[in-house]
């Protein structure tokens, strides 16, 4: 698939596709070719349809994974191979409507306390208290922390958009203590193997899962759970939807509105999110 891969990559770059989208599309088409043992441009619609049925029925892959494959095939065959768009009438699957699973405040306290090191603890605290995606927290630089305005700059986030989110006084104090201990230079959370490189998304996920295991927490999914908690807790504290939408970087307020369905009515006043948790003693690095 050498020539086809090159042509597909160039076509995606010309259309401004994000690097992760390019990787996902290429992987989907490569998997299709491997399944049949045939170059993908030699397959017909019936074989593509059969492969999609295999993904959904036999492998029981998630809606999002199957939908990426559908989008990748539609792009490849119409934009690279040159099929007429109507020749590939594969509708996108309907995404199931699910509500985020949240951690209680007591579980959050345990999670942060059970982090493997002060660095890991501050990474988790920052993800929660600033409402960051995992890709955003690993891309933070020390220069993104605006201590004077109490803001965190999130650079080129999802949708290639910059935004600002909140920096609470307590988180600022935690970050300052962390900086004095580790002295990060370019990346706020550098790789433990190479200080010149940032920690990877999978590395951040492992930090979360390990802290979750130590804390004995079985509910919820990956580190994105902390972003869900951020949005819901701000909503419960009385912050308006439009402001939360801006802090999260959602394009549509409809995306933010789903947190209305999971909030509780326990909080009546706006408070610093981290101040809702019990103070956790700082520990020296191991």
Where in the sequence numbering do the catalytic residues fall? 133, 158, 224, 227, 250, 259
In whole angstroms, give the CA distance from residue 132 to residue 138. Answer: 10
CA distance 98 to 225: 13
Q: How far apart are CA 73 and CA 25, in angstroms?
A: 8
- E strands, 90-148, are 145-146
Question: Residue 130 burial (CB < 10 Å; 0-12/13-18/19+)?
Answer: buried
**189 within 8 A of 199, measured Cβ to Cβ:** yes
Measured CA to CA, the distance from residue 8 to residue 1 in angstroms comes to: 10
167 CB-contact burial (10 Å; exposed 0-12 / middle 13-18 / buried 19+): buried
Please give the Cα distance from 142 to 123 (Å, whole number): 13
What is the pairing mode between strands 145-146 and 151-157? antiparallel
Which DSSP string corresponds to 227-245? HHHHHHHHHHTT--HHHHH
User: How far out from the chain centre does Cα 131 lie?
Assistant: 11
């Amino acid at each position: 698939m050498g020539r086809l891969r090159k042509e597909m990559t160039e076509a995606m770059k010309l259309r401004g596709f994000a690097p992760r989208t390019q990787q996902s599309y290429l992987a989907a088409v490569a998997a299709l070719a491997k399944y049949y043992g045939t170059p993908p441009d030699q397959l017909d619609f019936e074989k593509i349809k059969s492969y999609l049925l295999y993904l959904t029925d036999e492998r029981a892959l998630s809606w999002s994974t199957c939908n990426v494959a559908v989008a990748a095939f539609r792009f490849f065959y119409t934009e690279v191979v040159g099929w007429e768009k109507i020749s590939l009438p594969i509708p996108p699957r309907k995404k199931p409507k699910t509500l985020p699973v949240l951690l209680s405040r007591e579980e959050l306290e345990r999670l942060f306390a059970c982090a493997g090191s002060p660095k890991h603890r501050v990474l988790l605290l920052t993800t929660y208290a600033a409402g960051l995606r995992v890709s955003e927290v690993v891309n933070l630089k020390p220069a993104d922390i605006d201590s004077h305005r109490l803001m965190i700059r999130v650079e080129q986030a999802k949708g290639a958009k910059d935004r600002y989110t909140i920096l609470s006084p307590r988180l600022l104090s935690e970050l300052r203590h962390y900086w004095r201990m580790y002295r990060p230079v370019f990346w706020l959370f550098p790789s433990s193997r190479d200080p010149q490189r940032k920690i990877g998304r999978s590395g951040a996920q492992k930090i979360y899962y390990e802290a979750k295991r130590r804390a004995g927490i079985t509910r919820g999914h990956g580190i994105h759970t902390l972003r869900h908690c951020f949005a819901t807790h701000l909503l419960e504290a009385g912050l308006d939807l439009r402001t939360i939408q801006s802090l999260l970087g959602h394009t549509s307020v409809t995306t933010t509105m789903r947190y209305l369905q999971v909030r509780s009515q326990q909080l009546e006043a706006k408070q610093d999110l981290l101040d809702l948790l019990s103070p956790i003693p700082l520990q020296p690095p191991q």
